Amino acid sequence: MQRRTFIASVGAAAVAGALPAPAFAKTRAGRDAYAWKNAVVNGGGFVPGIIFNETEPNLIYARTDVGGAYRWQEDTRTWKQLLDWVSRDKWGYYYVVSMATDPVEPNRVYAAVGAYTNGWDPNNGAVLYSDDYGETWGIAELPFKQGGNMPGRGMGERLAVDPFDNATVYLGTPSGNGLWRSRDHGRTWARVEAFPNPGNFVVDPNNDYLADNQGVIWIDFDEIGDKIYVGVADPDDPLYVSGDRGATWQPVAGAAAALGTADGNRTIPKQSAVDDTNGYLYVITSWDPGPYNGGPASGRGGRIQRLATQTGEWTDVTPAYNPSRAIPGFGGITVDRQNPRTLMASTCNNWWPDEILYRSTDSGQTWSLSWDYAEGQDRTDRFVMDSTDAPWVSWNGTDQGPAYAVKHGWMIEGLAIDPHNSDRIMWGTGAMIWGTEELTRWDTQGKLIGQNEAGQRIALPIERFTVGVRAKGVEETWVRDIAALGGTLVSAMGDVSGFVHTDLNRPETMLRPGWGGNSLDFAQSNPNIIVGSGEVNADVDSHVIVSTDRGETWRAAARLEGVPGGGSGTVAITADASALLWSPTNTDKTPVYSTDLAQTWNPVQGLPAGARIRSDRVNPAVLYAYSGGRFYRSTDKGRTFTDTGATGLPAEGVDDFRVAPGRAGHVWLAGRSDKAEVATGLWRSKDGGVNWTRISGIDLAIGVGFGKAARRSGYPAIYTSATVRGQDGIFRSIDGGSTWYRINDDAHQWAFAGSAITGDPLVYGRVYLSARGVIYGDITH
Catalytic residues: 65, 495
CA distances from 576 to 420, 524, 591, 620 (A): 61, 7, 20, 6
| Cβ contact 432:467 at 8 Å | no
Q: Which residues pair with 141 in a beta bridge?
A: 126
Rg of the chain on CA atoms, in Å: 28
* Strands of 169-172's sheet in order across: 159-161, 169-172, 179-182, 190-191
- Reduced to 3 states (helix: H, G, I; strand: E, B; else coil), residue 439 is helix
- Reduced to 3 states (helix: H, G, I; strand: E, B; else coil), residue 646 is coil
- Reduced to 3 states (helix: H, G, I; strand: E, B; else coil), residue 428 is strand
Give the span between the Cα atoms of 399 and 376, in whole angstroms. 16
- DSSP letter at 636 equals S
CA distances from 436 to 425, 433, 441, 467, 503 (A): 6, 10, 10, 5, 27
- Reduced to 3 states (helix: H, G, I; strand: E, B; else coil), residue 739 is strand
Strands (E) in 686-726, as ranges, are: 693-695, 698-707, 717-724
Q: Which residues pair with 741 in a beta bridge?
A: 6, 732
Give the span between the Cα atoms of 258 and 773, in whole angstroms. 42
- DSSP letter at 92 equals G
| Cβ contact 6:742 at 8 Å | yes
Q: Which residues pair with 242 in a beta bridge?
A: 228
Give the span between the Cα atoms of 172 and 155, in whole angstroms. 11
| Cβ contact 8:697 at 8 Å | yes
| Cβ contact 679:695 at 8 Å | no
- Reduced to 3 states (helix: H, G, I; strand: E, B; else coil), residue 679 is coil
Whether omega for the bond prior to residue 157 falls within 30 degrees of 0, making it cis, is: yes
458: enclosing H helix or E strand: strand 457-459
256: enclosing H helix or E strand: helix 255-259
